[in-house]
Structure 1
Amino acid sequence: MSWTLETPDGRSLHVNAWNWRPTLELLESSGVVDAETAELLGYNISVDLSGEDAQRIATFLEGHLAAIPADGRVLLDGSVTTEPDTFAFHRDDLARNYSATAEWLARFRDFCRSATEGFTAC
C-alpha cells in the first residue's frame, strides 16, 4: 500500500506504508496533527492539509530530525534506532516492520516546507 502526496501545482511525493505509518504516529504523538486527521491520513482516501498544516509539519520535522542520526529510523513506537533494516517480515511482532527513515522524513519535511498552498494525501 502506498500514498501520494500532491500539491495544488502538481508536485508529488510517494510514500509506502512502512514509512508512512510511523510518520503519522510521530505527528500525532507530538500534537502536530490531531488523532482524527492522523487516522484519516492512514486510509487511502483523499485528505487535504492546508498550507499552515504543511508548514507546522515541516517545522516540527526540522527540529525532530536534528536528534536523529542520518542512518537512523523512527520506529512505530517513536523510538529511534540506527540498526539497519533487514527488510525481513516479522510475523510475531508486526510493529517491527514499520520505520520512518531519516532520509524519508527529510524528504517529507522539504516537501511540506515547499507546500505553501497545502497538499492532498491519497
Structure 2
Amino acid sequence: MSWTLETPNGEPLKVNAWNWRPTLELLESSGILDTDTAALLGYNIAMELTGEQAQRIATFLDAYLATTPAGGRVLLDGSITTDPDTFEFHRDDIGRNYSATVAWLTRFRDFCRTATDGFTAC
C-alpha cells in the first residue's frame, strides 16, 4: 500500500506504508497532528492538510531530525534504532516491520516546507 502526497500545484511525493505509518505515529505522539487527522491520513482517501499544518510538520521535523542519528530509523513505537533494516518480515512482532528512515523524514520535511498552500494525501 502506498500514498501520494501532492501540493495544489502538482508536486508529488510518494510514500509506502512501511514509512508512512510510523511517520503518522510520530506526528500524532508529538501533538503536531490530532488523533483523528492522523487516523484519516492512514487510509487511502483524499485528506487535505493546510499550508499551516505543513509548515508545523516541517518545523517539527527540523528539530526532530537534528537529534536523530543520520542512519537512524523511527520504529512504529517511537523508538529509534540505528540497526540496518534487513527487510525481513516479522510475523511475531509486526511493529518491527515499520520504520520511518531519516532519509524519508528529510524528504517529507522538505516537501512540507515547500507546501505553503498545503497538500492532499491519498
Which string of whole-angstrom CA distances, capped at 9 and with x for unpartnered residues, describes residues 37-82 of structure 1? Answer: 0000000000000000000000000000011111100000111110
Distance 2:71 2:111 in 1: 20
Give ranges in structure 2 of 5+ residues lacking alignment: none
Distance 1:99 1:19 in 2: 5
Q: Which residue of 2 aligns with 1:48?
A: 48
TM-score (norm 2): 0.99
The yes-or-no answer on 1:76 pairing with 2:63 is: no
Two-structure CA RMSD over aligned residues (Å): 0.3
Code of the residue aligned with 1:77 in structure 2: it is D
Following superposition, which runs of at least 4 residues in structure 1 exceed 4 angstroms of deviation? none
Distance 2:63 2:16 in 1: 23
Distance 1:26 1:45 in 2: 20
SS in 2 for 1:68: coil
SS in 1 for 2:9: coil
Code of the residue aligned with 2:40 in structure 1: it is L
Distance 1:79 1:90 in 2: 17
Give ranges in structure 1 of 5+ residues lacking alignment: none
Code of the residue aligned with 1:57 in structure 2: it is I
Q: Which residue of 1 aligns with 2:102?
A: 102
Percent of aligned positions with the same letter in both sequences? 75
Distance 1:113 1:19 in 2: 19
SS in 1 for 2:58: helix
TM-score (norm 1): 0.99
1:1-122 equivalent positions in 2, closer than 5 A: 1-122=1-122
